[in-house]
Amino acid sequence: MTVKEFKIQLLALSPTEKAEAIQILTQTLSNGSLGITKTPGVMGGDACIHKTRLPVWLFVSLKRQGATDAELLKMYPQLSAADLVNVWAYADAYPDEIETALREQEEAMQQEI
C-alpha cells in the first residue's frame, strides 16, 4: 500500500477508528526499534535516545516548558528530527512511565534545595 492509498483509507475512518489507528501506529513505533533504549546503569535505566544519555523524560519536560522541536534540535545538534519523533512516540506510548520519571526528577531536585 502506498502512503497516498493509506491516506485515502485513513480519511474514510470514523474518529474512533482513527484514534485506534493512531494507537496502533504509536505501538509499532514504540517496539524498541525506534531508537529509544533502556540500559541498566545508564541514567537509572530510564528510556533514552539510542546511543545517548538523553532521557525521554527530559524532552517531555522541556516541551512542557515551552520548547519547540526546532529549539530542541538547536539545543541538541547531535539529534535528528527522527530522534524527536521517536521521543514523542515513546512518551505517547508510555505516559505512566514518563510521569513517574518526571515526578522522581522533581523530588530529587527538591531534596537538593
Q: Which domains does the chain have, with CATH numbers?
A: 31-112 (1.10.10.10)
pLDDT tens-place string over residues 59-78: 999 999 999 999 999 999 99
How far, in Å, are 26, 27, 106 from residue 84 at the CA level? Answer: 14, 16, 22
- pTM metric for this prediction: 0.70
Burial (CB count within 10 angstroms: exposed 0-12, middle 13-18, buried 19+), residue 77: exposed
Burial (CB count within 10 angstroms: exposed 0-12, middle 13-18, buried 19+), residue 92: middle
Q: Which residues contact 42 (CB under 8 A, 6 or more apart)?
A: 48, 53
pLDDT at position 6: 85
